């Protein structure tokens, strides 16, 4: 059986050499209240590497001595992924990153009129000069350099193009469009990336999207459509305010819906999600797309009948592909097929009359507010058979 069933009207995107740089350990950890231990950071990094993520943003070394130790430990773990560190456009930040043995840095400074006036209190020219000096210094020390224009989606397009062309000329390997407050739309993200791509010769474009309006994943995809090659994600979409683009949602949308080829070990996706859920302390909704506990649960009789014949009738892809599990749940909407399926799982044989009675009692029990777990179901079956 094919593992996915795709809508025939979905476009097959010709997106080549796309890669993900995950920032769970940096921007994800900036979720208020989240603080990973060194061992937790190492475990998450190892699992991201096992998944096949190409770049891991391990942290912000200048934040603290402990943070620098964590970044250095990840950089020396021998992972296949390149390890990046965040730095401001300051020599001391870059030196601290160099001390951590990272492969590269993401250096950032705000460029929007709002940030320039109220946060930095500097002119765009001053900010641009600081950014270019930082890029040159980092490149002179052999680092991969991504230059991120913070609040890029609220920066005039002519300024963005000029600054990023300048960043490329100073040696930046990648330039980032940071949707810092999640206020971009898919159309604006595609436009910004396409205009930037027309003006760059070799630097990759990366998109870093926040989820304030629930657009982080679709904005990331439209950034790719516009010409970006790199996408920033976090596991479970954690991050400041409403979070970042969800790693698992982005991956499965690209592969399943857009038929994009990503060389990833998908079977570890759910395990990675549960690990970050545990270590971050941020409980996932049970219906969280892709990795939620209940997204492959079925109760409705009509659905269950079809799923037993072919799961893709009511699942966009098979759960085992990402390490998830399917479950038939018994309740108010259950029919004979679902009950028979559960009885077969438990090795219990009943007559047709008994089956109908069990279905009736399951519905009545659930409508009384009692959840039908295995113990409750066994009790119902025993009572019907005994009667």
Question: What CATH number does the domain containing 247 carry?
Answer: 3.20.20.70
Find all residues with CB under 8 Å of 155, minimum gap 6, and list them.
111, 112, 113, 149
Half-sphere exposure of residue 316: CA atoms within 13 angstroms, side-chain side: 15
Q: Are residues 315 and 358 in the same domain?
A: yes
Check whether 268 has a pLDDT greater than 80.
yes
> How high is the mean pLDDT of the chain?
96
**269 and 322 housed in the same domain:** no
The answer to whether 12 touches 258, Cβ cutoff 8 Å, is yes
Is 132 part of any domain? yes
Query: In three state form, how does the secondary structure of 325-368 look?
Result: CCEECCCCCCCHHHHHHHHHHCCCCCCHHHHHHHHHHHHHHHHC
Specify if 337 maps to a domain: yes
Banded model confidence at residue 15, pLDDT cuts 50, 70, 90: confident
In a domain? residue 10: no
* Final residue of a structural domain among 245, 280, 315: 280
Best CA proximity match to 141, nearest among 102, 86, 174: 102
Count of domains observed in the chain: 2
269-284: average pLDDT: 98
Task: Enter the tokens of residue 257.
Answer: 């819906």
Residues 87 and 187 in one domain: yes
One domain, residues 324 and 192: no
**For 68-93, what is the mean pLDDT?**
98
pLDDT of residue 27: 98
Euclidean distance between CA atoms 160 and 143, whole angstroms: 23
17 or 130, higher pLDDT: 130
* Residue 272 structural domain: 19-280
Q: Give the pLDDT of residue 245.
A: 98
Measured from the Cβ of residue 363, the count of other Cβ atoms closer than 10 Å reads 17
In this structure, are strands 104-110 and 230-233 parallel, antiparallel, or unpaired?
unpaired
Confirm whether 60 is domain-assigned.
yes
Same domain, 159 and 253: yes
Task: State the pLDDT at residue 13.
Answer: 82
Q: What is the pLDDT of residue 224?
A: 97
Q: How far apart are CA 114 and CA 178, in angstroms?
A: 15
- 11 pLDDT exceeds 90? no
Q: Is the residue at 45 inside a domain?
A: yes
Domain-embedded: residue 6: no
pLDDT of residue 16 exceeding 90, the answer is no
The token duo for 162 is 């000029």
């Amino acid at each position: 059986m094919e593992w996915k069933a795709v809508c025939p009207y979905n476009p097959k995107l010709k997106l080549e050499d796309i890669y993900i740089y995950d920032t769970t350990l940096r921007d994800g950890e900036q979720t208020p209240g989240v603080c990973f231990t060194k061992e937790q950071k190492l475990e998450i990094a190892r699992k991201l590497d096992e998944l096949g993520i190409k770049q891991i943003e391990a942290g912000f070394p200048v934040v603290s001595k402990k943070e620098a130790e964590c970044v250095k430990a990840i950089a020396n773990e021998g992972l296949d992924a390149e390890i990046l560190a965040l730095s401001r456009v300051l020599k001391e930040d870059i030196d601290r990153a160099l001390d951590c043995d990272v492969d590269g840095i993401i250096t950032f400074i705000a460029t929007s009129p709002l940030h320039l006036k109220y946060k930095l209190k500097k002119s765009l020219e001053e900010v641009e000069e600081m950014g270019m000096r930082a890029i040159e210094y980092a490149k002179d020390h052999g680092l991969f350099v991504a230059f991120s224009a913070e609040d890029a989606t609220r920066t005039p397009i002519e300024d963005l193009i000029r600054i990023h062309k300048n960043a490329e000329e100073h040696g930046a390997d990648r330039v980032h469009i940071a949707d810092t407050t999640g206020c971009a739309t898919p159309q604006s993200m595609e436009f910004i990336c396409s205009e930037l791509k027309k003006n760059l010769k070799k630097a990759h474009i990366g998109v870093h999207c926040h989820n304030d309006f629930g657009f982080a994943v679709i904005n990331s995809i439209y950034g790719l459509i516009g010409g970006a090659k790199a996408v920033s994600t976090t596991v479970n979409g954690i991050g400041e305010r409403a979070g970042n683009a969800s790693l698992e949602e982005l991956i499965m949308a690209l592969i399943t819906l857009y038929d994009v080829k990503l060389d990833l070990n998908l079977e570890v996706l759910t395990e990675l999600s549960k690990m970050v859920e545990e270590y971050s302390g941020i409980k996932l909704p049970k219906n969280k797309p892709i990795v939620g506990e209940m997204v492959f649960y079925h109760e409705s009789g009509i659905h269950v009948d079809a799923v037993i014949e072919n799961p893709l009738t009511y699942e966009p892809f098979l759960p085992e592909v990402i390490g998830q599990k399917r479950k038939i749940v018994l309740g108010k909407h259950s029919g004979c097929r679902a009950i028979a399926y559960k009885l077969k799982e438990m090795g219990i044989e009943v007559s047709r009359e008994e089956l109908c009675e069990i279905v009736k009692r399951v519905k009545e029990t659930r409508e009384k507010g009692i959840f039908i777990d295995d113990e409750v179901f066994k009790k119902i079956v025993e009572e019907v058979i005994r009667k």
